Structure 1
């Protein structure tokens, strides 16, 4: 059984910051000059996880900006491991804190490492204009008027396994950057770490005021809805990449991403998600129904961005609990203020 997160929804509802839709701390002063979070002791005492929620003054941060931040954080951990291995002094072993990046990107299709190129027709199909509709708000509640904007999706390579998938508005992406063999939290193999991410996501969905029942599959990674009839529906995708046991990528949870309709509105209609024929894609909104999802938004002033931010905080706290971490420190960073760009 997947246990619910320790954090409770009624406490979030009472928090003024959520009701007003305010961000958590947005200062960049908490990052070192190289972009790494504050260091943690190399002893076996539990680590504190740093949660960075990445936003953009333009609406959504780019996938490339999130990747650049992830690379900076990961390089800091890898450099620490290299210097620690080269040093005979225990005093030099001070590691950057494990970090989770959460964000909702502009429309982006990512290719798995088995896909070196796409046929020109496939590429052109993915990059056709995509109309994104997001909930509006009125007097602190969801509004029947929705905000629409057209995007040209990006197509980019990814180091994960699998085939093409989609990331974009309505989705919550969560990327832990941590050393699976670090002494200050529970250690994991690749397989047990993948299950940790799945179980953390399932626990979050089980904790919603209207719970979403899910399952996991050893054959197909991710988090799934097992319907009474029809094909299984994936609600969260999983992609992991390790370098010297330091993680990258993670989970993409569909909150209110469109999952039905024509290609001009539904990004999933343009390809077979992850190459899995006979499987469907779903979202929290699709599982709860439009009215049920709007009811959930009332807790957050009708603001879907604030709702996703709250879910991110609960997910990170659940992960910290499962790792045996000392706690979580959280901040919001604006990708535009940081000047993040692709580092490829």
Structure 2
């Protein structure tokens, strides 16, 4: 019995040795980052901007690859199944928790199959109307919805998007009824708003700021807990009478579960260093975000809370699971 225990322990140490050695030498080859949305979009840009700076400290290049489709779940599944050696990462967004709430049959667990590294950025959504809209505030729009729910609708980037769930949470929190009108992406929802198909849309700043600056659209509110630094005059949803409302999307780095802690800490250290570089912070701010890192534990807690919240919204709003 003792001999068998000794042999088993030896095999365990032997299996662990390659990862231990790789942690000491990490990194000695390029690191791949998967993201689940279109090349050139927000997630892709965030991954490239931050990783380009991380390359300087790690001494190895990053390769960013888009695996689009199914709300980012294809890219997430790729990373969940990858070898936990630090060379395959996921640039996850707020949609990662939304997908966990919305999809019935994911071939990975939203939290437990990943080792969180650090958040990178947080950004609010904006509630936007046309410049000639009769609604001058969110309060006026909600009052109209209370008077006649059929008169007020809102557009989003699609069923099950974070934008959609943010709208359903607003409806629930404000105790009103509004019709959700899904479009195929932010560009389509902006076009619909400009064309008068819907009176309001919920969208990220990057999707609407050009038309706001051009005087074609007007923002009624920001969805974050605090006012957005780029538009400090714009009140939050909470400031307009909807208590407790706070919706911000985010982006952050994840690795497969089981990635050695020394590798996780090395990646986290370089992420935090990159987020302190003025050019990186400025680029993230230009995209509507706030550069903010975290510990792995803080990120795990945040993603777990997001999953719980969006699962409740999906259930309460009777949104069909995919």
- The two structures have a TM-score, normalised by structure 2, of 0.27
More helix by share: 2
Which protein is bigger by CA-based radius of gyration? 2
- The two structures have a TM-score, normalised by structure 1, of 0.26
